[in-house]
Amino acid sequence: MNSIQYIALALCTVSIFGGCNAQLSATFYDSTCPNVSSVARGILVQARQTDVRIGAKIIRLHFHDCMVNGCDASLLLDDAEGIDSEKDEPPNTTIDGYSVLDDIKTAVENVCPGVVSCADIVALAAQISVSLDGGPTNPWEVQFGRRDSTTANSTGTIAIPSPFDDFATVRRKFTDVGLDATDMVALSGNCI
Ligand SMILES: *[C@@H]1O[C@H](CO)[C@@H](O)[C@H](O)[C@H]1NC(C)=O
Ligand SMILES: *[C@@H]1O[C@H](CO)[C@@H](O)[C@H](O)[C@H]1NC(C)=O
Ligand SMILES: CC(=O)N[C@H]1CO[C@H](CO)[C@@H](O)[C@@H]1O
């Protein structure tokens, strides 16, 4: 990834994060993976039969990924050479839903190998989860074309709101990423 892409990635968050759409597009996979949404939806519907909370878990995972260097799937990276995983940090030790995302990725790879990024899968799964949990059928249009991060930022998890933060701090952490009070209430109800 070159530095321009990296900067674009850091600036571009998903639609719930106010969204920069310089390079992202709702039609990004229309010709290369037209069935990505239906494949992801099928896996989530199935997962929900054994875990009714899976939607909330995925929305929270997406939120915690996006708060640190943008929605780049960095939260999915395990500890490795040069990678200090975000997963082990306090706000993230209670994150769940990784295996369902793995299942979606596998199913998507089966229909269009090497096309859809993990970051886009997380963003899509969060949007579908809102609808499966009783929200609007198409709560927002997912913008696609995110590139996956090759590094994690474990100390950056300090940007995630904590239940121990005072109100002003929580408010600032949301405004830092372009989210307003309504976003804060919606995401806090589901996510913190
Ligand atoms: C996409 O879905 C349509 C309708 O469900 C199906 O006919 C088609 O074969 C699928 N395409 C791929 C590439 O899986
Ligand atoms: C890590 O995340 C923090 C908090 O969001 C940010 O200030 C910092 O610039 C990030 N570090 C890198 C190397 O991206
Ligand atoms: C919200 C929260 O618990 N943040 C913690 C995330 O991890 C960093 C690094 O370990 C801590 O400094 C934060 O307090």
The response to whether 117 counts as a known ligand-binding position is no
Q: Compute the radius of gyration of the chain from its Cα atoms.
A: 16
Whether 185 is in a domain gets the answer: no
- What is the reported pLDDT for 90? 82
Query: Could you read off the pLDDT of 140-153 as tens digits, one per residue?
Result: 999 999 999 999 99
Query: Could you read off the pLDDT of 98-126 as tens digits, one per residue?
Result: 999 999 999 999 999 999 999 999 999 99
The single-letter code of the amino acid at 107 is A
pLDDT averaged over every residue in the chain: 87
The torsion angles phi and psi of 80, rounded to 5 degrees, stand at: -160, 175
Whether 19 is in a domain gets the answer: yes
Whether 187 is in a domain gets the answer: no
Count of the separate structural domains present in the chain? 1
Burial category of 63 from C-beta neighbours within 10 Å (exposed 0-12, middle 13-18, buried 19 and up): buried
Element (H, E) at 64: helix 54-66
- Provide the pLDDT confidence category of residue 22 given band limits of 50, 70 and 90: low
Inter-CA distances, 4 with 7, 23, 55, 176, Å: 5, 12, 33, 21
Euclidean distance between CA atoms 89 and 66, whole angstroms: 15
Do residues 24 and 144 lie in contact, with contact meaning Cβ atoms separated by under 8 Å?
A: yes
**Total count of residues recorded for the chain:** 192
Ligand 2 center–CA 156 separation, angstroms: 5
Whether 176 is in a domain gets the answer: no
E strands present in 16-61: none
Whether 182 is in a domain gets the answer: no
- Provide the pLDDT confidence category of residue 35 given band limits of 50, 70 and 90: very high
The response to whether 177 counts as a known ligand-binding position is no
Ligand 1 center–CA 144 separation, angstroms: 20
Maximum pairwise Cα distance, the chain = 47
The single-letter code of the amino acid at 96 is D
Whether 93 is in a domain gets the answer: yes
Pocket test for ligand 1, best of 30, 31, 33, 35 (most atoms within 8 A of CB): 35
The residues assigned a catalytic role are 64
Whether 121 is in a domain gets the answer: yes
For range 163-167, the mean pLDDT = 92
Domain that holds residue 58: 3-159
The domain spanning residue 100 has which CATH number?
A: 1.10.520.10
Whether 166 is in a domain gets the answer: no
